[in-house]
Amino acid sequence: MAKYEFDVPEELSGLRLDQCLARCVEPLSRSSARVALDLGAVFVDDRRIKVASRKVVAGQHVVVHLGGAFERAHKQVGRAARERDEAHLPAFRVLFEDEHLVVVYKPAGLLSAPTPEGDSGNLQMQLSRRGVGVFVVHRLDLQTSGVLVYAKTPASNHALSELFRTHDLTRRYDVFATGAPREEAFSVRQSLSGKPAVTHFRRLAQHAAFCHLEATLETGRTHQIRRHLLGEGLPVLADVEYSRREPWHPTRLALHAKHLSFVHPATSAPLAFDVDLPDDLASWLRDMDAAPATDASK
């Protein structure tokens, strides 16, 4: 994602916001600036602004976030264009729901919640459109699949957030990484962004050029599994942010949140959810198993 920011110069004071963006953000024309605004990718003085005709004032701080959401979007504005965007999103699946919370399977390619790139086309929005708003308790990255829980009331939001804060729940992932670990089971205790972070790994299978690991989170820092494995010399396959994608890698990040278990915040009932490896990763793995051992190293 590219981030562009500037302070409105004196000579542009009084211009429409879309005109100002076209002059100050190199990738944007006036029409594409309107698309960025429609998506919710533009902030003026820390407020998300969508009105193209709003007049700018000298000294205002403008930030524009352009990335995958902008690239994927239809290059028109209005409800119909955004509905066309949403029609191409992968489908989620509800695993459990009551009046307190909803547990879903999030496919790769679907955002968990609004981001600086926009406030539409995400799972939180799609769930809320069913008539009851939901609270974001935790997130999975765009290209990570797996189990997510959302709260449906302020009380359950507080209780679930506390479970995540105290790590009083279980989260396990399937992850495929380049190379081979030195041990069948190992733990990484490496602070991330100044905060303690612990991940426990167990090797499930070893292939010629990559390993299949199970990762259990003890803490939940941003990109924790990916960063911990990178530090061990085991970069996650198709991780274009921290490593690179090779031709034999899967078409998306090889990370899947396969298990989530916790105590229900209202009923105290134990809840556990498991989701098998999705078709995109499972079919890639079958192809790798069927290929000659040397193919993955080319």
The answer on pLDDT for 297 being more than 60 is no
The mean of the pLDDT values for the chain is 94
Per-residue pLDDT tens over the stretch 235-290: 999 999 999 999 999 999 999 999 999 999 999 999 999 999 999 999 999 999 88
End-to-end CA distance of the chain: 30
What are the structural domain ranges in the chain?
2-85, 93-297
Mean pLDDT of 176-194: 97
Q: Which pLDDT does position 130 carry in this prediction?
A: 85
Superfamily of domain 93-297: Pseudouridine synthase (3.30.2350.10)
Q: Which pLDDT does position 143 carry in this prediction?
A: 94
Q: How many CA atoms, within 13 angstroms, populate the side-chain half-sphere of residue 161?
A: 11
CA distances from 231 to 9, 41, 167, 210, 278 (A): 44, 33, 23, 16, 27
Q: Which residues contact 166 (CB under 8 A, 6 or more apart)?
A: none
Mean pLDDT of 123-149: 93
- Higher pLDDT, residue 87 or 105: 105
The rounded distance, in Å, linking the Cα atoms of 14 and 80 is 30
Task: Give me the CATH code for the 2-85 domain, please.
Answer: 3.10.290.10
The rounded distance, in Å, linking the Cα atoms of 143 and 120 is 17
Angle at alpha carbon of residue 108, lines to 104 and 254, rounded to 5°: 115
Q: Which pLDDT does position 73 carry in this prediction?
A: 83
Confirm if 154 and 117 have CB atoms less than 8 A apart: no
Confirm if 242 and 226 have CB atoms less than 8 A apart: yes
Task: Classify burial at 28, counting beta carbons within 10 Å of its beta carbon; exposed 0-12, middle 13-18, buried 19 or more.
Answer: buried
Q: Which pLDDT does position 199 carry in this prediction?
A: 98
Q: Which pLDDT does position 283 carry in this prediction?
A: 97
